[in-house]
Structure 1
Amino acid sequence: MAFEGEEPTDEALVARVATGDRTAFAVLVNRYGLRYRALAFRYLGDMARAEDLVQEAFVKLWTHAGRFDAGKAKFTTWFHRIVVNRCLDDKRRKKADPLPEGFDQADERPDAEAGLAEESGKARLRLALDALSDRQKLAVTLSYFDGLSNVEAADAMDMKLKAYESLLVRSRAKLRERLQAEKQQLFDALG
């Protein structure tokens, strides 16, 4: 997907998508598909659902690119909002019943134990994140996993900067409290 001269900006690509330019759309998908899939996965904890939601967000981009106003926001901030809204909508929907107990086979490979230990740490962090409210979890995800500045994250959440920073402080405090309690439980279990 080559363009003559310099690579076009995201905003220029969105303008071209609004005219039906499939090449411009493909460039945006290639630039940001993995980034937003990771965002959705961190928020939902389900890769298949994350992929579906990001695909839906890109379909929305294709059909509504003309609504993008480069004067109001950067493309990444606008598209973050679309993905976040899809995730929030998904969280509100009823969840499917879990698979029956013992459905998965045990992994007998030699390095399985090390993998499980690493996954256990990630799982503890995921559980601690899940204990946060949806808005707190989103604030932590945007700032620490997606690397957005506070201004960008506040825009993505459609909040004033001071309100976002206050939310982030409360989120970190609750996360720290949850992880400290878990750490103390682990030490108590050993003693």
Structure 2
Amino acid sequence: MRVTSDAADERRLMTCVANGDAQAFAQLVTRHTPMVHGIAWRMLGDAVEAEDVVQETFTKMWVNARGWTPAGGGLGGWLRRISTNACLDRLRRPRFVSDQGLPERVDEAAPADLAIDAARRRDAVAASIQALPDRQRAAIVLTYYEGVSNAEAASILNIGVKAVESLLVRGRQSLTQSLAAKGLLAEGGRE
């Protein structure tokens, strides 16, 4: 299917959603849930919170369908903006802190040195991303994990392209320092 037909199909489906069509809504939810969930999970690092952001994003899509226009990044761009803003709102809220540690998760996979090392690296990268300031994290997630352009990330974050580029530079520097401190990068910042 061509990009133009996808955009036309999404405009048609959004018109139906604006008129209360639950089937059109379900099609769009099915189509865009992986992207919205991916953004939320990477930004929040919590599956339950990510599910809440998915629900919040699609609730806003349903409620605001009449006001949607296919400008900018189309429906996908609009949903990225809603989900990113929902994540940033959640990150700004005070969080409950417990003195009890999280229970350890049992690894059901067969033990293998490579799998353990890969999981250690993946966890270290995820923890380093979680440690970034909110805006830097959003810029990194949108550009590197979601593959959006700097211009689209700037639109989603409601800032200029130069500001996104600055956030990316600072975010990459912080990630490099964090991963080097954990012994995961060789000299020169590369593995």
Normalising by structure 1, report the TM-score. Answer: 0.82
Moved more, 125-134 or 172-181: 172-181
Structure with higher Rg: it is 1
Deviation at 1:182, TM superposition (A): 2.3
Indicate the residue corresponding to 1:23 in structure 2: 23
Deviations 1:109-167 (A, max 9, x none): 63276544332111110121123110001100000000111111111111122222222
Indicate the residue corresponding to 1:93 in structure 2: 93
What amino acid is aligned across from residue 162 of structure 2 in structure 1?
K
- How far apart in 1 are the matches of 2:65 and 2:121? 40
Deviations 1:28-67 (A, max 9, x none): 1111101110110011111121012111110111111112
- How far apart in 2 are the matches of 1:146 and 1:123? 19
Moved more, 175-184 or 36-45: 175-184
| RMSD (CA atoms) | 2.7
Deviation at 1:101, TM superposition (A): 4.3
Misfit runs of 4+, over 6 Å: 184-187
Deviation at 1:107, TM superposition (A): 4.4
Contact 2:73 2:152 in 1 (8 A): no
What 5-or-longer segments of structure 2 have no aligned partner? none
What SS class does the counterpart of residue 183 from structure 2 fall into? helix
Are residues 1:177 and 2:177 paired? yes
Are residues 1:33 and 2:33 paired? yes
What SS class does the counterpart of residue 9 from structure 1 fall into? helix
Indicate the residue corresponding to 1:152 in structure 2: 152
Indicate the residue corresponding to 1:57 in structure 2: 57
- Percent identity between matched residues is 35
Are residues 1:46 and 2:38 paired? no
Indicate the residue corresponding to 1:125 in structure 2: 125
Deviation at 1:169, TM superposition (A): 1.8
Contact 2:43 2:137 in 1 (8 A): yes
Contact 2:40 2:53 in 1 (8 A): yes
Indicate the residue corresponding to 1:3 in structure 2: none
What 5-or-longer segments of structure 1 have no aligned partner? 1-5
- How far apart in 1 are the matches of 2:22 and 2:108? 46
- How far apart in 1 are the matches of 2:106 and 2:25? 42
Deviations 1:86-126 (A, max 9, x none): 11111122323458448446547632765443321111101
Normalising by structure 2, report the TM-score. Answer: 0.82
- How far apart in 2 are the matches of 1:35 and 1:14? 18
